[in-house]
Chain A
Amino acid sequence: MDSKSLLGRAARIGIVAGLAGLPALQAAAQTADFTGKRIEVIVPFAPGGGSDVYIRALQPYLEIYLPGNPTILVRNVPGGGSIPGANQFQDRAKPDGLHAIVVSASTVANFVFRKSKVNYQLDKWQPVLLSPQGAVVYAAPSLGIKGPRDLPMLKGKPLVFGGESATSGELRIIVSMELLGLDVKHVWGLRRGPVRLAFERGEMSINYDSAPGYLKNATKLVKAGKAVPLYSFGILDEKGNIVRDPNFKDLPSFPEAYEQVHGKKPSGTAYGAWKALMQMGIMANKALFLPADTPKHIVEAWRTAIRKVLADPDFQKYAAAVVEGYPQFVGEAARPVIKEATDLSPETWNWLKGYLKQKHNVTL
């Protein structure tokens, strides 16, 4: 089966699953009306990136389903790890339904890790939609591995991994490799694209991609015998268990991989830290928010609209690449995830601080 139709179907299943558990709160939507209005959505990243494509895929459908068919404008405020854009939204956005923001995992991570520069209160904003996105770790076949089963063989082998920095989105990946006891040399200062090239050249031996990147490019490397998938991060189900990623059903999730290597289920502080990072990077990967004080009927109008968007067959056809078959969290359903992602326990903090200081000489 080619990846596209698989995706389309997975997306539909995911959306339906996400919708099923939600209360119908449509009555309040009647009073909000955006006729003739311009809605401004801040994207705190440069055009063309993941968050930008995310909102642009939703944009035309939101215009159809928001009451009064408003015009939606995307305003990019790039730079500073999305802090300036999010700060600006916090300062200026009026709670009138005409201002919204898209955030990504790094907005969430900076909210947690770079408190001194952050003026925004992400955990107080009104969630409209939260879209998780999985990640897959793969390695070079030259290490003598053929499939996920061979993961234990990597123990003790010197591996090379490239990324942006130890505190960026790659933190979740390097912590997962640390927990597996892999011997990894890190090369920093590299964006995803150049890393993938370096992996193809053989300069990097272990790498990861988030779901869209993996499906678009890495699967072709796998097919050509140039990469071997090892494990996915998995996703959280409603009960808070980590289950296999719906896009990568045949790959072990991280806890399974851990068990495969260590012979026991993961537990303890280190695993708690990984789980927090997983909430941040996988579950809260992309989200759409309204300002904190937005009146209830306006918030509900947005949430109703987004439900209709997700159910629109046309959207499902074109925008599969955006939701990638993951369960979508609309409205209040997103709150617990956001809380888990932003509320780190003191033990988790200490473990992360210690790990970054010892292994990477980085002070949080």
Chain B
Amino acid sequence: MFSVMLEALATLLTVEHFLFLCLGTLLGLIVGILPGLGGIVGLSLLLPFVYGKDPTLVLPMMIGLLAVTNTSDTFPAVLMGIPGTSSAQATILDGFPLAKRGEAARALGAAFSASMLGGLFGALILTLAIQVARPIILGVGFGEQLMLIILALTMVGMLTGDSAVKGLATCGVGLLLGAVGAAPATGEYRLAFDTVYLSDGIPLVIVGLGMFAVPEMVEILRRRVAISSTAELGSGTLRGFAETLRHKWLIVRCSSIGTLIGALPGLGGSVVNWVAYGHVVQTAKDRSMLGKGDIRGVIGPESANNADNGGALIPTLMFGIPGSGSMAVFLGGLILIGVEPGIGMMERHLDLTYSIIWSLALANVLGTATCLVLAKPIARLTLVPFAMLAPFMIVIIYFAAYQATRSWYDLVALFVLGALGMYMKRFGWSRPALLIGYVLSMRLDAAVYQSVQVYGMSFLERTGVLVMLALIAVSIVVAVRMKPHRAPLTPDGPYAPVKPAPEMIFLGVLTAFVAYVIYESSRLTFLARVFPLSVALISLALMGVLAAAFLRKAKKPSYLFYDSEREWGDQERPVHSDLHYQAWMLGLLAAVGLAGFVLGVFAYVTVFLRVKARVAWHNAALAASGIVALLAFLSYLLVLDYPRGLLQQLIELPWPLG
């Protein structure tokens, strides 16, 4: 066995094999950086080339690609607050504040080194697991899966923000948003408004972009000149690297979480980064900086999301069951090159299995090295005047959203969720809590039903379930006893109920949504309704507590109230309001609706640069041509089409304009 392992490494290090690995890694880095694209798109780009080829050549290429998308997706997350892939969402919480402090290079250095160590850890576990993991995976039944999901859900307790009541209510809203689509038990469509689009639920990518990318961008447009508040990039990548090494035990713990969640059935990759972040908060002694630019908040999720790959490969290779979307494409690729994963993979293809593991490890090192070299120069983006960057970012965000299902509704969903995210940020409703609820919703609903259907109540007697119940209890106790770090209550600060109308309107909108869910539930069968109805009733009670506080006309500040607009006196308030920038977000939608994506983007970027950044017309048009060229290139390479507008309905336009 050991000799097979070394042989696999020796083969991989021959020039041709190594070049294929590098090629895959490079491609993975690129699709990781581009928001909305990720392992799925990258791998499907490779599929036509791998068909019928020598597996020892193309496997390293595919693994190289998969291994590093979670490394490079950190660039947009840290530098711009845009999740490059769904697994980079939690990285934004501390990574972006670090960039705003001018410490982007440090954050990136820490993130990349953590990614690498996490990835190596995952590869190591995979090596050990291929001998022993089978019984462990088979030991996790429906009951244990349910407990895993509940355990992940308790992480919300760490991320409720200033007010536990509001945090839990937000989580409820997230659970309800996640319940949109076909009910697991009956297949009935819930909250789908009789559309095909919503029958699959709201795409995760769009929820992530709406919750983070849009609100952060609007905030910077309103408040700052550039992303970074300092003109220099301060301490560098090497410092970040050193800090990662100092937090080695955090890395071991978060990598273990990542590998475990990746390997076990029931949760899946999009949850990994949130559970890891929740764990960082749970175990931190000093929480004063978490969420405001603590390096541990970057290291934790980044090590976990790379370790996840090693874990996810375990069921993929040993059972032929993909743990994630990109693993599904990988599995398709394996079929095309004639490799049969599943039972007996180790006996049939031991050499290829080791080749996969080595590729995973090497790609993580290669990817990190490349990113570290690029970190400092790319971090300079945070110093550029933001009005110059913003139109491109808006275009990228819409582009990313459109990749979710390639439908016009994606753009509309992004706008609506972006507005929701903006006001949640403004009124202090925890966006991570919403995301955790959203990601776990369907799984929770399904797991409760499936456990009861298979076992009745007797699943609660299983040893594994009891052990997990104990863990859940510990996690809840830690959450309840946690003292959040909150700013002091002051009579004129954001917590004071001065001019509460906007806050109350927002609460009203959320309450109306919850009430609608209750109304809609009445037409569903019992099994389809029991989950959303229970969640809606609890959320409604929590919102009732809030509404009561408002209606009592409280004069004293309270953590129940929050409006970031109150941070300014009348003199310092920015010229433009939220609504102004919401109109700009809507502007792109309108331009695309009229002239299609490519022409719409051209007009939009030109006008934005002229009006907001005062760039001369011809330079603005030149810059806009740049992004049009990029869009055309991506369209050609990846066989993408773009949203069409009225113009395309009326006349036939040549590619890429049509």
Decide if B185 touches A198 in the complex (CB within 8 Å): no
Out of B182, B340, B450, which one reaches A187, CB within 8 Å?
A: B450
Q: Which of B15-23, B331-339, B355-363 lines the interface with chain A?
A: B331-339
Q: Is A165 an interface residue (CB 8 A)?
A: yes
* A117, B197: Cα distance in complex, Å: 11
The distance from the CB of A172 to the nearest CB of chain B, in whole angstroms, is 16
Decide if B449 touches A189 in the complex (CB within 8 Å): yes
Q: Is B346 an interface residue (CB 8 A)?
A: no
Q: Which of A47-55, A98-106, A302-310 lines the interface with chain B?
A: A47-55
Q: Is A167 an interface residue (CB 8 A)?
A: yes
Q: Is B137 an interface residue (CB 8 A)?
A: yes
Decide if B321 touches A193 in the complex (CB within 8 Å): yes
* A166, B185: Cα distance in complex, Å: 9
Out of A59, A78, A194, A220, which one reaches B405, CB within 8 Å?
A: A78
The B-contacting residues of A in range 11-36, CB under 8 angstroms, are: none
Q: Is B498 an interface residue (CB 8 A)?
A: no
> Which residues of the partner chain A approach B405 to less than 8 Å between Cβ atoms?
77-80, 84
Known: A166-B187, A216-B340. A53 touches B335 (CB 8 A): yes
* A23, B265: Cα distance in complex, Å: 51
Known: A46-B40, A74-B639, A220-B342. A197 touches B454 (CB 8 A): no
Q: Is A83 an interface residue (CB 8 A)?
A: yes
The A-contacting residues of B in range 602-651, CB under 8 angstroms, are: 639, 641
Q: Is B48 an interface residue (CB 8 A)?
A: yes
Closest A residue, CB atoms, query B409: A84
* A46, B327: Cα distance in complex, Å: 12
Q: Is A311 an interface residue (CB 8 A)?
A: no
The B-contacting residues of A in range 40-93, CB under 8 angstroms, are: 40, 46-49, 52-53, 56-57, 59-60, 73-81, 83-84, 87
- Convert A308-332 into 0s and 1s, putting 1 for each residue whose CB lies closer than 8 angstroms to a CB of B: 0000000000100100000000000
* A196, B137: Cα distance in complex, Å: 12
Closest A residue, CB atoms, query B329: A48
* A83, B405: Cα distance in complex, Å: 12
Q: Is B9 an interface residue (CB 8 A)?
A: no
* A362, B641: Cα distance in complex, Å: 37
Known: A46-B325, A216-B320. A203 touches B454 (CB 8 A): yes
> Which residues of the partner chain B approach A81 to less than 8 Å between Cβ atoms?
199
Q: Is A217 an interface residue (CB 8 A)?
A: yes
Out of A47, A78, A168, which one reaches B187, CB within 8 Å?
A: A168
Closest A residue, CB atoms, query B443: A189
Decide if A187 touches B453 in the complex (CB within 8 Å): yes
Q: How large, as a class, is the contact surface on chain B?
A: 35 or more
Out of A168, A188, A197, which one reaches B185, CB within 8 Å?
A: A188
Q: Is A174 an interface residue (CB 8 A)?
A: no
Known: A79-B405, A160-B454, A187-B453. A220 touches B319 (CB 8 A): no
Q: Is B564 an interface residue (CB 8 A)?
A: no
> Which residues of the partner chain A approach B184 to less than 8 Å between Cβ atoms?
188-189
* A189, B145: Cα distance in complex, Å: 14
* A220, B199: Cα distance in complex, Å: 36
Decide if B48 touches A117 in the complex (CB within 8 Å): no
* A328, B453: Cα distance in complex, Å: 41
Known: A73-B639, A79-B200. A196 touches B48 (CB 8 A): no
Decide if B48 touches A57 in the complex (CB within 8 Å): no
> Which residues of the partner chain B approach A56 to less than 8 Å between Cβ atoms?
47-48, 51, 332, 336
The distance from the CB of B120 to the nearest CB of chain A, in whole angstroms, is 26
Q: Is B229 an interface residue (CB 8 A)?
A: no
The distance from the CB of B641 to the nearest CB of chain A, in whole angstroms, is 7
> Which residues of the partner chain B approach A142 to less than 8 Å between Cβ atoms?
none
Decide if A362 touches B186 in the complex (CB within 8 Å): yes
Known: A56-B51, A216-B320. A77 touches B342 (CB 8 A): no
Q: Is B510 an interface residue (CB 8 A)?
A: no
- Convert B177-197 into 0s and 1s, putting 1 for each residue whose CB lies closer than 8 angstroms to a CB of A: 000001111111000000011
* A35, B348: Cα distance in complex, Å: 42
Decide if A47 touches B329 in the complex (CB within 8 Å): yes
Closest B residue, CB atoms, query A83: B196
Q: Is A121 an interface residue (CB 8 A)?
A: no
The distance from the CB of A61 to the nearest CB of chain B, in whole angstroms, is 10
Q: Is B508 an interface residue (CB 8 A)?
A: no
* A256, B283: Cα distance in complex, Å: 62
Decide if A75 touches B329 in the complex (CB within 8 Å): no
Known: A73-B639, A203-B141. A188 touches B336 (CB 8 A): no
Q: Is B96 an interface residue (CB 8 A)?
A: no
> Which residues of the partner chain B approach A53 to less than 8 Å between Cβ atoms?
332, 335-336
Q: Is A200 an interface residue (CB 8 A)?
A: yes
> Which residues of the partner chain B approach A60 to less than 8 Å between Cβ atoms?
48, 51-52
The distance from the CB of A122 to the nearest CB of chain B, in whole angstroms, is 16
> Which residues of the partner chain B approach A57 to less than 8 Å between Cβ atoms?
51, 336
The distance from the CB of A98 to the nearest CB of chain B, in whole angstroms, is 12
Out of A189, A190, A318, A361, which one reaches B52, CB within 8 Å?
A: A318
Q: Is A344 an interface residue (CB 8 A)?
A: no
The distance from the CB of A300 to the nearest CB of chain B, in whole angstroms, is 26
> Which residues of the partner chain A approach B40 to less than 8 Å between Cβ atoms?
46-48
The distance from the CB of B403 to the nearest CB of chain A, in whole angstroms, is 11
> Which residues of the partner chain B approach A360 to less than 8 Å between Cβ atoms?
186
* A60, B141: Cα distance in complex, Å: 42
Known: A48-B329, A189-B446, A216-B340. A59 touches B453 (CB 8 A): no
Q: Is A221 an interface residue (CB 8 A)?
A: yes
Decide if A47 touches B196 in the complex (CB within 8 Å): no
Q: Is B43 an interface residue (CB 8 A)?
A: yes
Decide if B320 touches A194 in the complex (CB within 8 Å): no
Q: Is A265 an interface residue (CB 8 A)?
A: no
- Convert B206-220 into 0s and 1s, putting 1 for each residue whose CB lies closer than 8 angstroms to a CB of A: 000000000000000
* A325, B396: Cα distance in complex, Å: 46
* A57, B315: Cα distance in complex, Å: 25
> Which residues of the partner chain B approach A361 to less than 8 Å between Cβ atoms?
186, 525
Decide if A321 touches B321 in the complex (CB within 8 Å): no
Decide if A189 touches B450 in the complex (CB within 8 Å): yes
> Which residues of the partner chain B approach A193 to less than 8 Å between Cβ atoms?
315, 319-322
- Convert B516-529 into 0s and 1s, putting 1 for each residue whose CB lies closer than 8 angstroms to a CB of A: 00000000010000
Q: Is A157 an interface residue (CB 8 A)?
A: no
Decide if B141 touches A48 in the complex (CB within 8 Å): no
Q: Contacts A48-B328, A60-B52 given; 5 further ones with Cβ under 8 A?
A: A47-B328, A49-B332, A78-B405, A201-B139, A203-B454
**26 A-B contacts (beta carbon < 8 Å):** A47-B47, A49-B328, A56-B51, A56-B332, A59-B51, A60-B52, A76-B44, A78-B405, A80-B197, A187-B454, A188-B185, A189-B445, A190-B450, A193-B315, A193-B322, A197-B319, A198-B142, A201-B139, A201-B141, A216-B342, A217-B319, A217-B342, A220-B344, A318-B338, A360-B186, A362-B186
7 shortest A-B CB distances, which residue pairs?
A189-B184, A165-B187, A48-B332, A193-B321, A48-B329, A47-B44, A48-B328
